[in-house]
Amino acid sequence: MLTDVIVSILLIGGAFMSLAAGIGLLRFPDLLSRMHAATKPQVLGLLLVLAALAVETGSWLLLPVLFLCWLFQLLTSPVSALMVGRTGYRTRHLRRELLTLDELDDVVERAIVDQAERQRPAGADGADAGVQDGPGGSAGAAR
Amino acid sequence: MSRQKFSLVTDIPLIIWLTLVWSALWQDFGPGTLIPGFIIAIVVVNFFYLPPVGLSGRFNVLSLIAFSGRFLVDLVTASFEVFWLAISKGPDLRNAVVAVRLRTRSDLILTATGHVTSLVPGSFVLEVDRGSSTLYLHCLNIVTPKDADAVRASVLRSEAGLIRIMGTRKELDELRAEESTP
Amino acid sequence: MTIVIYVVQSILALAVMLALYRAVVGPSILDRALALDVVLAIISAALVLTMIVNHHLDHLILLVVISLVGFIGSVAVARFLTDRG
C-alpha cells in the first residue's frame, strides 16, 4: 500500500515534468529559452520515473543499472545543449531584443575581426571562415 | 600517435569504472560477470584510448555527498521555478548571456562545472573559452544586473564544491584562503 | 493505482502533443531537433510506465539506448548547421 502511494507520487511528478517541458516549449519566445524547458524531463523527470521503477521493483540489484541510465543522460544532455545552443547563437536563431545583457557578443565580434585582420596580409580568401570558431578556438566542453 | 606504455596507475580508475558499468548492465555482480568485465575493460582501455584526463589524485567522498545533495535540491527548486516562469511569464521573458570567469585551470573541473550548470534548469552553457576558463551562460529571467551577479555567485559556488571534491591541493588552499578573507 | 496510471498516461499524452506541435511549427530546424529530444524523453518515461504496469524489466536497455541516440541525433543536427555556416 505504502509503495503504491510512493510510486504514484513519483510517477505523477515525473509526468508533470514532461508536461512542464511541453508547456515551456509552447510558450517560451525563442530557441534558447526553449532549451531551458527541454532539460527538465531529461534530468528531473527521468530521475523521478526511474525512482518509481526502483521502488516498485524493490530489488537492490536494479539500482546500479537505473543509476547508469540516469548518469548517461546527465553526461550527454549538457553536451547536446551546448552544441545546439552554440549553433543557435552563431546562426542568429536568437531574438536579441529579448536579452537584457549579452557578454558574449563583443567576444565573438572581436574574434571575427581578429581573424579577418590576420588573414588579410596573407592574402587568404577565407571570408566565411570567421564565424566557425569563436573566442580562442573554444570547443572545450564538447570533448 | 605517441602513447606511453600501458600504465596501471592512471588507467585503474577507468578500468574499475568500466567493470562496474559492465556488471551493472548485466545486473549481476558475481565473479562470473566481474572477471570477464575486467578483462574486457583492460582490452578496451588499451585499444580505444582517450586523451588523458588530468586527475589531481585526491577525491573527497564526503564533499561529493554534500555536493550531490545540494545539486538535487537545486534541481528540484529550479525545475519548479522554470515551470512557474513558463506559466506566468511565457512569451514576455527577458534573458541574458552572462560571462563567468572561473578560478580553476583544470579542464576536468571546467567541464564538470559546465555540466552541473547546464543540468540545473534556468541556465546553460553557450560557449566555453578554455584559455581563460570562462563560461558563457544563457540564463532565463535576468532583468537587472543584480540577477546576473546572483547567477555568477551560484556558478562559482558549484565550482568551489567541485574543487573540494577533486581539485588539486593548490586550488583547495587558494579556495580556503579566499574564503577566510572575505 | 489504475486511476493513477490513467492520469499519468493522459499527462504524458498531452505533453507529447505539445512537444510535437513545436516540432511541426518550430521556425528553425534546431527547434525541431529540440522538440524531438523532448519527445524522446517523454517516450522513455512512457517505457518506464509500461514496465511498472506490466511488472517486467525488458525495456531497461532501451532507456540507455534512447539517451545515447538522442544525444547523437541533436549533436549531428547542430554540427550539420555549423558546418554549413
Flag whether B78 is in a domain. yes
Mean pLDDT of B29-34: 88
Inter-chain residue contact A26 with C30, CB threshold 8 Å: no
Tally of domains within chain B = 2
Q: Computed from CA positions of residues C64, C67, C70, C72, in that sequence, does the dihedral angle turn out positive or negative?
A: negative
Taking an 8 Å cut-off on Cβ atoms, the answer to whether C74 and A83 are in contact is: yes
Spatial neighbors of B178 by CB under 8 A, at least 6 apart, are B103
Cβ separation of A23 and B86 shorter than 8 Å? yes
A34 with C22: Cβ contact below 8 A? yes
A 13-42: CB under 8 A from B: 17, 20, 23-24, 27-29, 32-33, 35-37, 39-40
Residue B144 and residue B173 in one domain: yes
Kindly determine whether residue A80 and residue C74, on different chains, have CB atoms separated by under 8 Å.
yes
Q: How far apart are the first and last CA of chain B?
A: 48
Residue-level pLDDT at C59: 87
Are the beta carbons of C45 and A7 separated by less than 8 Å? Answer: no
Q: Are A30 and A98 in contact (CB under 8 A)?
A: yes
Q: Which residues of chain C have a CB within 8 Å of the CB of A79? A: 71, 75
Domain count, chain A: 2
Query: Do A86 and A17 fall within a single domain?
Result: yes
Query: CA C59 to CA C50: how far, in whole Å?
Result: 9
* A78 and A133, same domain (yes or no): no
Query: In this complex, do B118 and A135 lie within 8 Å of one another by their Cβ atoms?
Result: no
Residues from chain B contacting residue A85 (CB–CB below 8 Å): 124-126, 138
- Please check whether residues B43 and B128 belong to one and the same domain: no
Is the pLDDT assigned to residue B113 strictly greater than 50?
yes
Residue ranges making up the domain that contains B174: 61-180
pLDDT band at A9 (very low <50, low <70, confident <90, very high): very high
User: Is B121 domain-assigned?
Assistant: yes
Write the residue in B97, B124, B129 that is nearest to A135 by C-beta. Answer: B129
| Pairwise CA distance, residues B110 & A78, whole Å | 13
Domains identified in chain C, total number: 1
Q: Does C21 touch chain A (CB under 8 A)?
A: yes
- Which residues in chain A are contacts of B128 at CB distance < 8 A? 82, 138-142
Per-residue pLDDT at B8: 60
Looking at the complex, report in whole angstroms how far the Cα of residue B180 sits from the nearest Cα belonging to chain A.
30
Q: Report, as an integer, the average pLDDT of B10-32.
A: 85
Alpha carbons B57 and B104: distance in angstroms, whole number: 16
Cβ neighbours of residue B12 closer than 8 Å, sequence gap 6 or more: none
DSSP code of residue B157: H
Residue B11, Cβ neighbours under 10 Å: how many? 17
Average pLDDT over residues B166-170: 82
Of the pLDDT bands very low, low, confident and very high (cuts 50, 70, 90), residue B70 is very high
The span from the CA of B125 to the CA of A86, in Å, is: 9
Element (H, E) at A50: helix A46-57
Q: Give kind and range of the element (H or E) at residue A76.
A: helix A62-90
Instruction: Specify whether B37 is located in the same domain as B69.
Output: no
> Are A67 and B24 in contact (CB < 8 Å)?
yes
0.95 surpassed by complex ipTM: no
For B3, the enclosing helix (H) or strand (E) is: none
Higher-pLDDT residue of C85, C20: C20
Domain that holds residue A61: 2-98
Mean per-residue pLDDT of chain C: 88
3-class SS of residue B149: helix
A35 & A74 share domain: yes
Same domain, A17 and A78: yes
Within this chain, do residues A82 and A23 fall inside the same structural domain, yes or no?
yes
Provide mean pLDDT across the span A7-20.
91
Residue B53 DSSP code: P
Query: What pLDDT was estimated at residue B9?
Result: 64
A89/A111 same-domain check: no
Main-chain phi, psi angles of B133, to 5 degrees: 50, 50
Q: Find the domain containing C31 and state its range.
A: 2-84
**What distance in Å separates the CA atoms of residue A52 and residue A45, rounded to the nearest whole number?**
11
Q: Cell numbers of C5, please?
A: 496510471
Kindly tell me if the per-residue pLDDT of A105 is higher than 60. Answer: yes
Task: With respect to residue B3, please indicate whether it lies within any of the assigned structural domains.
Answer: no
Chain A residues lying within 8 Å of B155, measured CB to CB: none
Q: Which residues contact A41 (CB under 8 A, 6 or more apart)?
A: A14, A17, A18, A20, A21, C15, C38, C41, C42, C45
| Of A139, A135, A87, A140, nearest in space to A114 by CA | A135
Kindly report the nearest CA distance between residue A33 and chain B, in angstroms.
Answer: 7
Name the H helices within chain B.
8-26, 31-47, 61-88, 107-119, 145-166, 169-180
Among A90-94, B59-63, B138-142, the range scoring the smallest mean pLDDT is A90-94
Chain A: closest CA distance from residue B173 (Å)? 26
